[in-house]
Amino acid sequence: MLVVPLSTTASQQQATFSATVARVRVDVIVTDAAGRFVDDLRPEEFVLYEDGVEQRILSTQVVDLAAGRITEFVPDLSRRADLTMRPVPSASMAGDLGAVIFLVDLPGLDRRNKDRFADAWIKLIDETELMGIPRAVYLIDQVGYLRELAPLTLSVDELRGAAQEVRDAPLVRRGVHDQLVRAAADIPGEEALDFLFLNEVRIFEAQERARTRSTFRLLTQFCSVLSAREGRTALVWVTSEVQLAEGGPGTALAAAALANSDPGFVSGTVDRSRGTGDILFSYLSIAPQMSELQRDLHDTANSSNVSIYTLDPRPAREHRSLPLDMRVGNGDLADLLNDSAVQTSLDGLKDALWQAADETGGQAFIGATELDQALRRIDIDTSKFYLLSYEPSAPQGDGEFHTLRVDVRRSGVNVRERRGYVGLTPQDREAQALAAALVLPGAVSAVPVEVRAYRGWSAAGKPIVRLVVAFEQDLGQQQAGPTQVISHQIHAVALDAIGVTVDEINQQLSPRGSVSPRIRSGERPIVYMHDWSLLPGTYNIRVAVRDGTNGEIGATAIDAELPAPSSQWMASDLMLTVADPSGSAQPLMTGWIFSDETLLAYVEVSVGGEPFLSGRILDADGLQPRAILPETMLTEDSVGIHRGAMRIRNVPPGDYILELELADHTDGNTRSFRVPLQVLPG
């Protein structure tokens, strides 16, 4: 069970999404001819244009996240004022300025270079003591689904775990490069070439085109979600092969083979009539929809302040290399593979990577010999930049795309910035922030949220997931009294094992309600509980909470498994509930209680005989008993479910282990529970 803490240390906090933007912020990276960041520019050296019209720059800052410092130029003065950040900035502070998100495109890699990238990445992480900017890791798996391996975090251990998961990910797909070598070795005689070889090439390259379209759509959706972020996002797209052309290297190989046997053959296409109909290949023209999909990706990334950094872990020596048996003793096939059309088509697999980086203000790292150096350059490029802000002259929320351009009045420098943005209304931006919360829950934490999911049965005896959501709200500014304003919205989706949404919850909490003193004082969170009827299966439940008073959103996710109905004895999960002296009760989410509170251990049994709950309280080491708890019989209801709760009172302050056993007198079934418990003075 995944539980996200309500309060975290600075190294565990996550970046914040905001629903509104007062000014347009433009992150600008300026480098010299050697690629070094130029850090001595003055405000008057920047010229910023929106839709070709020069804008008045309201603030200019130099952000150095690695050093933990923001240097701001004081208006109308010729000096700088240093505003020093904390030595280790929180992720929410750093995340408002920048973040790095790794997107590992597993279907676009082969096993060797996937492992090569992961090894270099793990090495770099192991050499890192502190993260100056939050990072997240996502994986496109072999069937094209997006998986979160690590949310935005400053935790080195969490990132290393994600990198190791990439290293361990199984990969059975044969890449374009390897498929080409295999196809060359299998080229038959010219007669069979028509019917067998071309058909195999056609099928494989149709699959590659479909994969490319799917990847572009996923990347575009990913960037759209990131538009809710305040700062610049560096999206590191790790892949080796993206086929834009209608045909790929296999088509070029077939064209070379046919040209050898038919001097009149027109290079660039393979168009041969055969009994099954006409099949047209072209390795020179872009496949239908590809240009539009590319443009959508680039525009969405620019509008979302996302710079795409493309990283191809395949070393340059392998881009056009052939296996030894192709180079020695197999001259005809080697000549075909070295044909200029084949080599050009292989190079074309990198075009989308160069273009994505160039169009979005990122960088392309293709054929890098030292991957750890490429990763370091991405870190440097992301952690140091100029931050300009201005008030746009165009009406806010017009829904139009507005181009941006930054010039620097200094020769010999390179300038990179996002190409534009879409003017969204606050309502549209809020909707995007909510979408971000449900698509990328690990990246949204303006409202700290904790979620738990308990398996049980409804009053009608149906299997359910008992969803418990806890969040904090500052009620200290409200007028004292039992009635307080609570204006939160709960949004939750349940995704099945293949990522399809099967059900959702959209709940506006009651605007007014009775609030216990401990919730009002902030000692206890606000808790929402929902009995969710779902079909048996495994689910990823994503929950977003929106604070109606300020528009802030927090989110998290949890996995839940709901077993199929059975004629066998089955127990629910144990749910602990705490009741304070005022009589207010709620599920225990904190792991601790006050000594004047009552703890209730609630459990259910299906197909039971005479189930009962017993237990004891042990010391913190779980060795010495401190108290023996009386047995509690579970009561069978009208639908055949036994339910019951053990009451635990008057536990003195201290650290304990709560050990409970659910047993059935009739058939001997048992289930044990061990829960750490801290008791504070009440």
Give the model's pLDDT for residue 547.
Answer: 86
Which residues face 25 on adjacent strands? Answer: 389
Residue showing tokens 């629903």: 19
The candidate with the shortest Cα–Cα distance to 520, out of 584, 596, 574, is 584
CA 39 to chain centre: 32
Average pLDDT, the chain: 80
Structure tokens at 60: 């200019």
Structure tokens at 129: 């003591």
Edge-to-edge strand list for the sheet holding 449-457? 449-457, 463-471, 526-532
Q: Indicate if the pLDDT at residue 431 is higher than 50.
A: yes
**Quick one: average pLDDT of 500-519?**
76
Give the model's pLDDT for residue 580.
Answer: 83
Structure tokens at 341: 């059309």
**Quick one: average pLDDT of 235-263?**
78
Please state, in angstroms and as integers, the Cα–Cα distance from residue 525 to each residue in 5, 447, 448, 519, following that order. Answer: 12, 12, 10, 6
Do 674 and 657 touch, CB atoms closer than 8 A?
Answer: yes
**Quick one: average pLDDT of 640-667?**
94
Do 255 and 269 touch, CB atoms closer than 8 A?
Answer: yes
Instruction: Please give the backbone phi and psi of residue 166, each rounded to the nearest 5 degrees, phi first.
Output: -65, -45
Domains and CATH numbers, the chain: 447-565 (2.60.40.2550), 567-682 (2.70.50.60)
pLDDT digits (tens, 9 = 90+) for 301-319: 988 889 999 999 988 776 6
pLDDT digits (tens, 9 = 90+) for 156-168: 999 999 999 999 9
pTM across the whole model: 0.71
Structure tokens at 619: 């010391």
By mean pLDDT, which of 26-30, 259-263, 294-298, 654-658 is the weakest? Answer: 259-263
The candidate with the shortest Cα–Cα distance to 232, out of 83, 404, 85, 401, is 404
Buried-state track 602-636, b at ≥16 Cβ within 10 A, e below 16: bbbbbbbeebbbebebbeeeeeeeeeebeebebeb
Do 438 and 455 touch, CB atoms closer than 8 A?
Answer: no
Do 88 and 130 touch, CB atoms closer than 8 A?
Answer: yes
- 525's CB contacts (< 8 A; 6+ apart) are 6, 450, 470, 471, 472, 519, 589, 590
pLDDT digits (tens, 9 = 90+) for 15-61: 333 333 457 889 999 999 988 999 899 999 999 999 999 999 998 98
